[in-house]
């Protein structure tokens, strides 16, 4: 087995265990056993359990970011629609990821430094994506945003309650309804007045 295949086998085993038991209850020995390799083999690929958790968390966030990118790039839609589409895609991606097991959300939100590191990286990429969308929308005359970077950070702060763990504290239909109401408020603040 080559290094890439072995690494993927370890990540898949860790993913199954983390979804079921969560980061706190999963050990490197558990991952090794699930992957069918020795503990030393796991350490050849990853420096620690936290490194495994961080990589899996980053991959979860990448799924969310990819969904946002697709929605933000939707040709034929206004920039306001793209902004709403990106935020809706974000929410749907979180919901989809959460359906992956009892502890699937732990890779988005828990006390683990690895998850926090992945989350911070995601936040920076998410800000850049929204700032670019806001900048291009302003250049096209559809949006009116003086500082796209600041506005992106404000929007993400406003939408913080539409991220794990908060989105799982209410029924999904209610979260979607509240998100739609937030869109009306946010878009009212950034759409260019004609």
Q: Is the peptide bond before 179 cis (omega within 30 degrees of 0)?
A: no
For the chain, what is the largest distance between any 2 Cα atoms, rounded to a whole number of angstroms? 66
pLDDT in tens, 4-57: 899 999 999 999 999 889 888 999 999 999 999 999 999 999 999 999 999 999
Q: What is the number of H-type helices and E-type strands within the chain?
A: 8, 0
Mean pLDDT, range 122-128, rounded to an integer? 97
Q: What is the residue extent of each domain of the chain?
A: 1-46, 50-190
pLDDT in tens, 171-181: 999 999 999 99
- The second-level CATH assignment, the architecture, of 50-190 is Orthogonal Bundle (1.10)
Separation of alpha carbons 46 and 10, rounded Å = 9
pLDDT at 102 exceeding the cut of 80: no
pTM for this structure? Answer: 0.90
Separation of alpha carbons 39 and 72, rounded Å = 43
The predicted structure's pLDDT at residue 194? 67
What is the average pLDDT value for the chain, to the nearest integer? 93
Name the burial class of residue 25, with classes exposed (0-12), middle (13-18) and buried (19+) by CB atoms within 10 angstroms of its CB: exposed
Write the CATH number of the domain with boundaries 1-46: 1.10.10.60
Cβ proximity of 20 and 101 under 8 Å: yes
At residue 187 the predicted structure's pLDDT band, cuts being 50, 70 and 90, is confident
Rg over CA atoms, the chain = 19
């Amino acid at each position: 087995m080559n290094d890439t295949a072995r690494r993927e086998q370890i990540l898949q085993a860790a993913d199954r265990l983390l979804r079921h038991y969560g980061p706190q209850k999963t050990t490197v020995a558990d991952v090794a056993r699930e992957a069918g390799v020795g503990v030393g083999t796991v350490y050849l690929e990853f420096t620690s359990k936290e490194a495994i958790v961080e990589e899996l968390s980053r991959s979860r966030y990448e799924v969310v970011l990819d969904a946002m990118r697709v929605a933000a790039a939707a040709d034929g839609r206004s920039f306001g629609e793209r902004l709403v589409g990106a935020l809706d895609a974000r929410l749907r991606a979180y919901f989809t990821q959460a359906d992956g097991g009892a502890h699937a959300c732990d890779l988005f939100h828990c006390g683990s430094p690895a998850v926090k590191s992945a989350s911070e990286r995601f936040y920076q990429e998410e800000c850049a994506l929204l700032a670019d969308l806001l900048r291009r929308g302003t250049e096209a005359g559809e949006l009116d945003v003086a500082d796209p970077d600041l506005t992106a950070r404000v929007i993400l702060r406003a939408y913080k309650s539409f991220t794990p763990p908060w989105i799982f504290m209410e029924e999904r239909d209610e979260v979607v309804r509240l998100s739609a109401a937030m869109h009306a408020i946010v878009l009212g603040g950034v759409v260019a007045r004609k």
